[in-house]
Every structure is written in C-alpha cells, then in structure tokens.
Amino acid sequence: MEAAFGLSVTLTMLMSTVLINFYLYTKRVPTIWVVLITGLFTVIELSFLSANLQKIKEGGYITLIIGAILFYQFRHFA
C-alpha cells in the first residue's frame, strides 16, 4: 500500500505545479518568472516521479485505477 501512497503524493505535487503555473499566468506575472518557477518545480517533481514509476507494479496501479474511475464519473455525470 505504500507504493500507492508514494505515487499519489508525487502526482499530487505535479498537479499542484500545473495549478501554480495557471495561477501565475492569470495574475500576469512576467513570463520569465513563470517559466523559471514552474520549470524548477517540474524538474524536481519529475525526478520524484521517475523514481516512483517502479511502484506501479507494486500496487501503485490501484491509485491510477481509482483516479481514472473518479475522473470518468466526474466527466460523464457533471
């Protein structure tokens, strides 16, 4: 179960970086700052993700399946 937790935390961090990117863009922060801040966080989080990809076969697929089901239901019924 630890594999699913580590993978979900890493994916949550990556999604937070995408949201920070959109927030900075909507607040009209200069593009160079948006690229630098988002790029820094993306590089760090992609290194965590690459280390955690081996956890998919150790139980991380459960998190991905649950997330896909919830995403489908949200898109289908919303």
Give the list of residues 6+ apart from residue 14 with CB closer than 8 angstroms, or none. 42, 45, 46, 49
Whole-model pTM?
A: 0.72
- Tokens found for residue 10: 């890493």
For residues 30-59, average pLDDT: 91
Q: What are the residue ranges spanned by the domains of the chain?
A: 2-77
For residues 13-42, average pLDDT: 96
What is the spatial distance between Cα 52 and Cα 37, in angstroms, rounded to a whole number? Answer: 23
Residue 62 has pLDDT above 90, yes or no: no
Burial category of 30 from C-beta neighbours within 10 Å (exposed 0-12, middle 13-18, buried 19 and up): exposed
